[in-house]
Structure formats: C-alpha cells, structure tokens
Chains A and B, each alone.
Chain A
Amino acid sequence: NAGVMQNPRHLVRRRGQEARLRCSPMKGHSHVYWYRQLPEEGLKFMVYLQKENIIDESGMPKERFSAEFPKEGPSILRIQQVVRGDSAAYFCASSPSDREAFFGQGTRLTVV
C-alpha cells in the first residue's frame, strides 16, 4: 500500500503563471487535507475535502486558490496567477475517515 503521493516535489513558476499541485491519497482513503507551510513555521490549514465535496475551505484564500477531489484521480490544488507570497511548501494528507491522517512529502513551490 503506497503512501500519499504528491507531485511534483518541486515546482518553479513565474509570477502570473498557474501552479497545479497533485495529491494521490492512500488506497481506500476518501478524505484529503491540504496544508501550507512557510520555512520555520507550522502547518496552516487550507482545505478539507471528501470525494467530490469540499467540507471546509475556511483556510483557503478567496481568490486565485481552488481545490478539488474528483471521483476518479488525484486531488488538485490550483493556484492561479501566482505571486511571490505563494512560495511555500504545500502538504497533502489523506485519511480513511475522521481518524489519523497520513502526509505526503510535499510540493515546494517557488515563484520567481
């Protein structure tokens, strides 16, 4: 049973481009979380999804950011028109229910 897979591990985008971050949850997991982490800081909640539904997006900026978790395929975190302040590590975690959550290795986004 493979762990949570995130890709790419590193992503460089120019200001104004779009960033698409992918997260494949562990097999049998229907819950996905996305967190953002700046260097030397904690994990900041962004969005919580269950298959095809957004349960809680209270941590996601209202503009430019969106997330989905389709019936088939990985969860996608999409950042449109990236700015330098979007540079961070983005972590995805998956869970079979409202219990323990397992993290991926993260995607490090650098906006130049």
Chain B
Amino acid sequence: GQQLNQSPQSMFIQEGEDVSMNCTSSSIFNTWLWYKQDPGEGPVLLIALYKAGELTSNGRLTAQFGITRKDSFLNISASIPSDVGIYFCAGSFGNEKLTFGTGTRLTIIP
C-alpha cells in the first residue's frame, strides 16, 4: 500500500522563525492535504492542493504540490505561539482512501 514519509518528526523553534516540513510518497497522488491537530481535537484542514506544481497560501502558510506528484511541502512564516501543534500531510489518488503522514510536532521555545 501507499506509504507517506513526513519529516521532520519534531521541530523546536523560537517565535518568529520560519518553519518547513515535507512529505514524500511511494506512489503518485492527485490530491495533497495539510492538517493541523491541537491536543484533544480533530485535525483541521489548512490547505488543499490538486495540481502538480500548484503553490497555495493560507495566511502565513504556504504549501506546494511537487512536480513529480510524489511530494509536498508546507512552510509557515514568522511562527507565533498558536502555531504549536501536530501537522499532518495526507494524500490520495482518484477514489482511493486518504493516507496520512506520521506527523510533525511543532514546539515553540520561549
């Protein structure tokens, strides 16, 4: 089955720094999604990507759908305390199930 490798597993940064994380797949996708999960809550959709090469922003967040259709990255600029949480990538192809990455835990050091 499809496998998604998400990196890094965790990040410790200072407030104001930029953040970058990525996902790679063993097979091609035609949809990439990025989610954020806070403790005790369900994942919240941040950005959806549907075309190879697509670059989409949502405020300070920017995500790109890789040209090979096997990868995607998420950037967060000028991090703030409420960015703390776990970020998940997810991908699918056609009518197949949505597969999730293992998550990147973001911590902001005071």
Contacts and interface: CB of A to CB of B under 8 A. Distances in A.
B103 interface: yes
Contacts of A55: 95, 97
Contacts of A105: 41-42
Given A43-B88, A58-B1, A91-B43, A99 B97 contact: no
Measured as residues with beta carbon below 8 angstroms from the partner, the interface class of chain A is 20 to 34
A99 B36 CA distance: 17
Contacts of A48: 97-98
B66 interface: no
Chain B residues touching A, majority SS: loop
A106 B48 contact: no
A91 B37 CA distance: 12
A102 B97 contact: no
Interface string A74-100: 000000000000000001010100111
A104 interface: yes
Interface of A: 4, 6, 33, 35, 42-43, 45, 48, 55-56, 58-59, 91, 93, 95, 98-106
Interface of B: 1, 31, 33, 35, 41-45, 48, 50, 88, 90, 92, 94-103
Given A55-B95, A55-B97, A103-B44, 19 more contacts: A4-B42, A35-B100, A42-B102, A43-B100, A45-B99, A45-B100, A93-B98, A95-B98, A98-B94, A98-B95, A99-B48, A100-B33, A100-B45, A101-B45, A101-B98, A103-B35, A103-B43, A103-B45, A105-B42
